Structure 1
Amino acid sequence: MPGPQLYIIDYQLHGQPRSFIIRLERLDNAEAWHWASCDAGIGIIPKFGREKIKKVSRPMAERYGITAVSWRISGSKPNQSVGDPAVVG
């Protein structure tokens, strides 16, 4: 079983580009939107790894000005985004 990996999440907050690195076991588009919301100060960061919290959805994040969320594994080039905003529905 692979351990946690480093991911880079890029997004825009009110039109300003932002980016951060996070270590997680797995990442998908829904998780990327939630963690971008946390970085922007909107979402709740769980205190414990197994704590269940209500995640911030894409529509909710967009209401607060978060757009163009994309993510990639650390070490890959920015144009090799796994979560491309043009592809994500």
Structure 2
Amino acid sequence: MTQTDFFVIDYQYHGEPKSFTIRAKLMNNAEAWQWASCDAGLAPIPKPGRPPLKRFSKPMAERFGVTNVRWRGSVSLAWDEDRAK
């Protein structure tokens, strides 16, 4: 089974702060800029098993209003059955 993690991506779109959580196998700065562009509605969301689409780079995303992209790993949630009662 492949490892996937949850990541939080924060960015600004025309100066307005935005944030979302995404599940991905890999996250780096280039991926974060691509997913922020998808969330802003600028880039299409890729479909699994299909050929890769044209990716949005940082300069291209900035031309369309996406700025200040930051990403971080999401905190894992540990369920404690004793506390749930």
| Same topology, TM > 0.5 | yes
Give the equivalent residue in structure 2 for 1:66: 66
What number of residue pairs does the alignment pair up? 76
* Bigger RCO of structures 1 and 2 (CA < 8 A, at least 6 apart): 2
- CA shift, 1:52, in A, is 1.1
- Cα distance in 2 for partners of 1:61, 1:36 equals 9
Q: CA deviation at 1:49?
A: 4.5
1:1-89 superposed matches below 5 A: 3-49=3-49, 51-75=51-75
**Structure 2: runs of 5+ lacking an equivalent:** 77-85
Encode CA deviations 1:45-78: one digit per residue, 9 max, x unaligned.
11125531111000010011110000000018xx
> What CA RMSD, in Å, does the superposition of the two structures yield over aligned residues?
1.6
Counterpart CA distance in 2 for 1:72 and 1:50 is: 27
Q: Per the alignment, in what secondary structure is the counterpart of residue 35 of structure 1?
A: helix
Q: Find the aligned partners of 1:13 and 1:32 in 2 and give their Cα distance.
A: 14
Structure 1 runs (4+) deviating above 4 angstroms are: none
- Name the % identity: 57
Q: Which is higher, the Rg of structure 1 or of structure 2?
A: 2
Match of 2:80 in 1: none
Deviation at 1:26, TM superposition (A): 0.8
- Please list every run of 5 or more consecutive structure 1 residues that lacks an aligned counterpart in the other structure: 77-89
Q: Which amino acid aligns with 1:25?
A: K
